Structure 1
Amino acid sequence: MTATVRPDATRNASPYLYGQETPAAVQVLESGQYGHTDVTEEFERRIAGFLGVADALAVASGTAALHTALLAAGVGPGDEVIVPSMTFCATIQAILAVGATPRFVDIEPATLCVTDQLVMDAVSDTTAAVIPVLFGGRAVDLGAVQAELDERGVAVIEDAAHAFGSRNGTRRVGTTGALTCFSFGPIKNLTCVQGGMVIPRTPKEADSIRRLRLLGIVQSQSERANITTYRVEGFGLRYQLPSLNAAIGLAQLDRFTATEHTRRRLWHTYRHALAPLDGVTLVDVDVEHTVPHLCQVRVPHRDQVFAALRAQDIGVGVHYPPNHLQPAFADWRRTLPATEQVGEQILSLPFHQHLTEPDIEHVVTALGQALKSAGGSRCATC
């Protein structure tokens, strides 16, 4: 795929390649060096430089980033982790993977994000961490309660899978003091095809994550090439990011300014087109500070509207079914009124860099027709 071959605009999401990714990947393939190599380390250095941080540690996926971050923060059995139910299930699976339990909390309906008050209302003696989810790319500011969380020994681990490039005020996500986890999956703002990154808070955390992602081995791959043995100091996983994926990420990073501009422009186009529609509430991503990952609306009769748009081959989606209502997580179910209401209303519109203004006009026109067919009434609770 190249930038000149636009897939069907009705897809909900689609990777966007600028063209440099293919020769970068071919160069790695021709080198015969496919593991965690100097290409991966260059990707880490470039991401650290982009953010202005000391360390950026590449891992195999966004889920791997969350898993290793929780382990590095010392979260384990008997601990509770505060997390919004409105997130992808990977966030919850990472909590369970370290033996901790999720404490589901509600969200602010306008943003689909947690607030400092919702977090602090849930903190207990067993709380070891809080995972604010930066939904749609919007930063979550827990600065007002950071000192109290620190005093209680509660780690803040940002699930920034949607939020690479976004800002909290003037500071990039990843630089505001939290242990931050990015995803570079196929449809993210920056893609490695598959991959993730952890931004540690301290050198100790960085060393821990380096060992965790490499089966507990202390020496790096390049260091092991010149010694006859290596030392395993603890538990670890095979979570390294291969150089092939890193090469694609480097090519994407070179064009990230264009990515930011395009995604903001498309979101503004949607906002303007949606404004006249009765019964539609656009989820606020704070677009001036955000590199948007999604364009979401809340609508009445969501399931009927979804079906009507799908029947026209328009790739709407639902991000996400609330996790506290999932059978796998039933042991931790509790009543979350805002999440449950939003879970019945939320609709993700097609949003990717292949879209044109006529595509967006087509989607919005179809959405208006679907709303009329489904009942046409204003959403009194949106």
Structure 2
Amino acid sequence: MTAAVRPDAGRNNTPYLYGEEAAAVARVLEGGQYGHSEVTEEFESRIAAFLGVRDAVAVMSGTAALHTALLAAGVGPGHEVVVPSMTFCASVQAILAVGATPRFVDIDPVTLCVTDQLVMDAVTDRTRAVMPVLFGGRAIDFSSVRRELDARDIAIVEDAAHAFGSRNRARRVGATGDLTCFSFGPIKNLTCGQGGVVVPRTRAEADTIRRIRMLGVVQSQAERGRTTSYQVDGFGLRYQMSGINAAIGLAQLDHFEKAETTRRILWRAYRRALAGLDGVHLVDVHPDRSVPHLCQVLIPYRDEVHAQMKARGIGVGVHYPPNHLQPAFAQWRRDLPATEQAGREVLTLPFHQHLTENDIDRVVTVLGQALKTVGAASCARS
């Protein structure tokens, strides 16, 4: 008989609130500054201090962060951006939004992340940026090729949507000298409800990103309040983060140390529970350095096991269907064997701060039962 699973294990991922977010939002609503405001600027300052960087620019989503970062790096029509196919489609859509084209690259089959060598092998004369995706929260060290990329005027635009709080050696992701983009969507390690941040490399990039997110307007909110007009200095979009979203993020940031600790404990609990299952490979996120965002396994019969676990109330998922196999991106399809194998085998297990170690044991029990059931059925058919 299948072990009973608490409702929390029925969700693949779900937001975690600390109880102070609603009051923080209420204060913003009472103050009447619903849009971009001093609360947004406080959030930017707090994020910059947390990461140990000079500046951080808040925008309305992780996709907006990638879009504005590419624009600030000078990426546009005629350029290519090297990007792993194993990522959420937002990474690719941001590349297309600036008029560039994606050059898909394969991944390490153990980590599901790109390596510096795989990226360099994909670089062409048209490459203007590379976009390593810090999959599952695992940091990627590009220090060995940064000088060569700089010499070729190729920017590193890190898609760190999964990796807020993770470390590359001793430094937080975002403090390693690259253009780094974070997402603070509902299920991220830190949530603003919806939002993102770009960590620029230079003051000029910060100014460019701030101008773009404000529809090309160069004056600050305070400056606009003191004048009878305003100045539009270039292309822009309405990408500001609202004070409402920033207030949620500030409340979350006060408790981020707890999030780091809890997510590492839960990921290690999965590692212990999965150790006895044959044929299951746990995707390594390097939990000593990362703040894990996903817990994933590579398994045989993935689609059948997925269906079995869903039927038993377990919130499993697939992150992600490879982008080079998507109809919208088919014209840029390349031979990516490791990505395609992972796309057939990867299964995302429930992973969020509502889980307990007992939940994890039960999830793994059901996974083991599903593997046996599906494996036995496959043997019977053959």
Q: TM-score, normalization: structure 1?
A: 0.96
Partner of 1:31: 31
1:13-52 counterparts in 2 under 5 A? Answer: 13-52=13-52
Structure 1 ranges of 4+ moved more than 2 A: 6-9
Q: Deviations over 1:318-341 (max 9, x none)?
A: 000000000000110011000000
**For the Cα contact (< 8 Å) 2:9–2:363, is it kept in 1?**
no
Identify unmatched segments of 5+ residues in structure 1: 1-5, 378-382
Alignment pair present for 1:134 and 2:117: no
**For the Cα contact (< 8 Å) 2:137–2:293, is it kept in 1?**
yes
Alignment pair present for 1:254 and 2:254: yes
Q: Secondary structure at the match of 1:291?
A: coil
In 1, Cα distance between equivalents of 2:187 and 2:181: 16
Partner of 2:3: none
Q: Secondary structure at the match of 1:375?
A: helix
In 2, Cα distance between equivalents of 1:351 and 1:77: 39
Q: Secondary structure at the match of 1:318?
A: coil
**For the Cα contact (< 8 Å) 1:131–1:157, is it kept in 2?**
yes
Q: TM-score, normalization: structure 2?
A: 0.96
Q: Deviations over 1:257-293 (max 9, x none)?
A: 0000000000000000000001100001000000000
In 2, Cα distance between equivalents of 1:194 and 1:307: 30
Alpha-carbon offset, residue 52 of structure 1: 1.0
Q: Secondary structure at the match of 2:209?
A: helix
**For the Cα contact (< 8 Å) 1:35–1:242, is it kept in 2?**
yes
1:194-343 counterparts in 2 under 5 A? Answer: 194-343=194-343
Partner of 2:173: 173
Alignment pair present for 1:368 and 2:368: yes
1:99-178 counterparts in 2 under 5 A? Answer: 99-178=99-178
What's the RMSD between the two structures over aligned residues?
1.2
State the number of aligned residues.
Answer: 373
Alpha-carbon offset, residue 8 of structure 1: 2.9
**For the Cα contact (< 8 Å) 1:263–1:292, is it kept in 2?**
yes
Alpha-carbon offset, residue 310 of structure 1: 0.4
In 1, Cα distance between equivalents of 2:160 and 2:263: 17
Instruction: Give the counterpart letter for 1:110 in structure 2.
Output: V
**For the Cα contact (< 8 Å) 1:37–1:222, is it kept in 2?**
no
Instruction: Give the counterpart letter for 1:204 in structure 2.
Output: A
Instruction: Give the counterpart letter for 2:224 in structure 1.
Output: R
In 2, Cα distance between equivalents of 1:310 and 1:220: 50
Partner of 1:96: 96
Q: Deviations over 1:127-154 (max 9, x none)?
A: 0000000000000111100000000110
Decide whether aligned partners of structure 1 residues 228 and 217 sit closer, same or farther in structure 2, where only a CA change above 3 A counts: same
Alpha-carbon offset, residue 374 of structure 1: 1.1
**For the Cα contact (< 8 Å) 1:85–1:105, is it kept in 2?**
yes
Alignment pair present for 1:71 and 2:54: no
Alpha-carbon offset, residue 32 of structure 1: 1.1
Q: Secondary structure at the match of 2:156?
A: strand
Q: Secondary structure at the match of 2:8?
A: coil
Alpha-carbon offset, residue 344 of structure 1: 0.2
Instruction: Give the counterpart letter for 2:44 in structure 1.
Output: E
Alpha-carbon offset, residue 376 of structure 1: 6.1
**For the Cα contact (< 8 Å) 1:7–1:354, is it kept in 2?**
no
Identify unmatched segments of 5+ residues in structure 2: 1-5, 378-382
Instruction: Give the counterpart letter for 2:14 in structure 1.
Output: S
**For the Cα contact (< 8 Å) 1:25–1:247, is it kept in 2?**
yes
**For the Cα contact (< 8 Å) 2:304–2:374, is it kept in 1?**
yes
In 1, Cα distance between equivalents of 2:352 and 2:282: 17
In 1, Cα distance between equivalents of 2:321 and 2:240: 30
In 2, Cα distance between equivalents of 1:16 and 1:342: 29
In 2, Cα distance between equivalents of 1:369 and 1:353: 25
Identity %: 72
Alpha-carbon offset, residue 124 of structure 1: 0.9
**For the Cα contact (< 8 Å) 2:65–2:182, is it kept in 1?**
yes
In 1, Cα distance between equivalents of 2:358 and 2:118: 40
Instruction: Give the counterpart letter for 2:306 in structure 1.
Output: F
In 2, Cα distance between equivalents of 1:53 and 1:168: 14
In 2, Cα distance between equivalents of 1:375 and 1:215: 56
